[in-house]
Amino acid sequence: MTNFNDKVVLITGAGNGIGRATALAFAQQGASVVVADINQSDGEETAAKITQAGGIATFMLCDVTKDRDVQTLVDGTLETYGKLDIAFNNAGIEIEQSKLADGEEAIYDKIMDVNVKGVWRCMKYQIPAMLQQPTSAIVNTASIAALGAAPKMSIYSASKHAVIGLTKSAAIEYAKKGLRVNAVCPAVIDTDMFKRATQSDPQKEQYANSLHPVGRIGQPEEVAAAVLYLCSDLASFTTGVALPVDGGSTAI
Ligand SMILES: NC(=O)c1ccc[n+]([C@@H]2O[C@H](COP(=O)([O-])OP(=O)(O)OC[C@H]3O[C@@H](n4cnc5c(N)ncnc54)[C@H](O)[C@@H]3O)[C@@H](O)[C@H]2O)c1
């Protein structure tokens, strides 16, 4: 039931971190994967890793803040593979930590443009294509910052709360059409995003480990496993959920 043979999967932000790990995992389970990213060399590297391992993948350059890019991405997926079954809307950016009153409007707009409007825009163009299939599934990447306060990350936290709002509303709108829409809410995951946040201070890494009851941060493959579950037939009765993948963080 977690076999994705004959499924076409589109992943944004697939050039690195969680998106790349998920692209590799879907390909290992037989899916044809569209690797979308704003970074050409990283995206091409993900696609090459898949094809070198005997899988099926195509890189498509896409900035999720550009309407035309996203439209072209979905059209290109249909032209290349004939359909779209699964989408993982994962492209996202972080912010430098600062208290709310020290924030800047340009940063607010940038975060919202990528993290919220990017997910909205992707779903807007994906959904009509996905409704052509008897069943389909979308997973959006939120964060545990979507489930509660994230001090000094208020804009990021607000953007990820909004991703859950989009996810739940779309889930209800299309529940009777065979389309399931869910979100994953990772805690701290060992990706370049995490490394950028901790490289200036090694103590931050230890602190990050200590935040999780399991005593460590997560690996991108552990988020990928949750995404594959939510997109599989094992989750056929699950829609509109925001699933923490967090080493127990939100249980405290
Ligand atoms: N790493 C964490 O601790 C963590 C925790 C919770 C949630 N998240 C979320 O997970 C997602 C992936 O994060 P990651 O840690 O893998 O980050 P990452 O920085 O390692 O990878 C993000 C990828 O998204 C791409 N990207 C950025 N802006 C884009 C745009 N406008 N259009 C298309 N692609 C774009 C980047 O080029 C990169 O390849 C993000 O939405 C992030 O907010 C990460």
**Annotated active-site residue in 81, 108, 125, 156:** 156
Residue 6 neighbours by CB distance under 10 Å: 10
The pLDDT score that the predictor gives to residue 202 is 82
Whether 131 contacts 123, CB under 8 Å: no
In a domain, 204, yes or no: no
Answer yes or no: is pLDDT of 157 > 80.
Answer: yes
Beta strand ranges found along 160-220 (DSSP E): 179-186
How many distinct structural domains can be found in the chain? 1
Supply the mean pLDDT for the chain: 97
Average pLDDT, integer, range 236-242: 98
In a domain, 214, yes or no: no
Whether 153 contacts 100, CB under 8 Å: no
pLDDT tens-place string over residues 5-43: 999 999 999 999 999 999 999 999 999 999 999 999 999
**Residues 234, 111: Cα–Cα separation, whole Å:** 33
Answer yes or no: is pLDDT of 2 > 80.
Answer: no
pLDDT tens-place string over residues 202-211: 898 899 999 9
User: How would residue 199 be classed by pLDDT, with cut points 50, 70 and 90?
Assistant: confident
Residue 186 CA: nearest ligand 1 atom is: 6
- Look up 108 and say whether it is catalytic: no
Average pLDDT, integer, range 139-150: 98
Answer yes or no: is pLDDT of 200 > 90.
Answer: no
Looking at residue 36, its amino acid is: A
In a domain, 199, yes or no: no
- Calculate how far, in angstroms, residue 131's C-alpha sits from the geometric centre of ligand 1: 27
In a domain, 248, yes or no: no
**Residues 123, 130: Cα–Cα separation, whole Å:** 10
65 lines ligand 1 (CB under 6 A): yes
| Best of 73, 191, 245 for a ligand 1 pocket test (most atoms within 8 Å of beta carbon) | 191
Q: What DSSP assignment string belongs to 67-90?
A: HHHHHHHHHHHHHHHS---EEEE-
Residue 45: give the domain boundaries: 8-189+220-243
In a domain, 90, yes or no: yes
- Calculate how far, in angstroms, residue 92's C-alpha sits from the geometric centre of ligand 1: 4
The CATH number that applies at residue 97 is 3.40.50.720
In a domain, 249, yes or no: no
**Residues 119, 121: Cα–Cα separation, whole Å:** 5
39 lines ligand 1 (CB under 6 A): yes
In a domain, 211, yes or no: no
In a domain, 205, yes or no: no
Nearest CA to ligand 1 atom 43: 92
Please, what's the b/e burial string for 220-239 (b: 16 or more CB within 10 A of its CB; e: otherwise)?
bebbbbbbbbbbbeebeeeb
- Calculate how far, in angstroms, residue 143's C-alpha sits from the geometric centre of ligand 1: 11
The pLDDT score that the predictor gives to residue 1 is 58
Answer yes or no: is pLDDT of 136 > 90.
Answer: yes
Share of the chain above pLDDT 90, in %: 95
- Calculate how far, in angstroms, residue 80's C-alpha sits from the geometric centre of ligand 1: 25
16 lines ligand 1 (CB under 6 A): yes
Answer yes or no: is pLDDT of 232 > 70.
Answer: yes
SS3 annotation, 92-109 = CCCCCCCCHHHCCHHHHH
**Residues 29, 82: Cα–Cα separation, whole Å:** 19
The pLDDT score that the predictor gives to residue 211 is 93
Residue 15 CA: nearest ligand 1 atom is: 39
Residues in the chain: 252
Whether 214 contacts 248, CB under 8 Å: yes
189 lines ligand 1 (CB under 6 A): yes
Nearest CA to ligand 1 atom 14: 17
Whether 59 contacts 51, CB under 8 Å: no
- Calculate how far, in angstroms, residue 176's C-alpha sits from the geometric centre of ligand 1: 31
CA distances in angstroms from 29 to 87, 98, 250, listed in the order given? 15, 41, 30
